[in-house]
Amino acid sequence: METTKAKEQAEDLVVRLRELVSALCRSMPTAEREAQREQLRIIGESISHLENKSVPVPEELQNLKGKLETQIQSAEKHQVLLFFVKEQLSEILTEIGQTVRKGPKYDLEEKQA
């Protein structure tokens, strides 16, 4: 493979990977997720309390519970995906480390001449 083309592909992959990681990290900050988990816990307790007293649970409360559960599940899926990316990158780095020894940094253009 031509060095210039390989470098362009590598740069493109790095940019796309950074965009993916950034988007996944922005999807829900940890503090917000913890606040949502606490809200879900309190809503769950409230619903149980109402049901134990045979009081009808307001639809809005049920809807809020469902919405929070969906948001938390989505964030957890993003965390799983981030872990997957991390593991795959770790494997790639190990493979690279086995084949590449310490050398010049990013001077591919100079070597082609």
pLDDT digits (tens, 9 = 90+) for 37-56: 999 999 999 999 999 999 99
Measured in residues, the chain has a length of 113
Number of folded domains that form the chain? 1
Domain assignment present for 48 = yes
Domain assignment present for 81 = yes
> How does pLDDT run across 56-72, given as a tens digit for each residue?
999 999 999 999 999 99
Distances (CA, A) of 105 to 2, 16, 68, 93: 18, 21, 47, 16
Q: Domain range for residue 37?
A: 18-100
pTM above 0.75, yes or no: no
What CA–CA distance (Å, rounded) separates 9 from 13? 6
Domain assignment present for 52 = yes
Contact 40, 65 (CB under 8 A): yes
Domain assignment present for 49 = yes
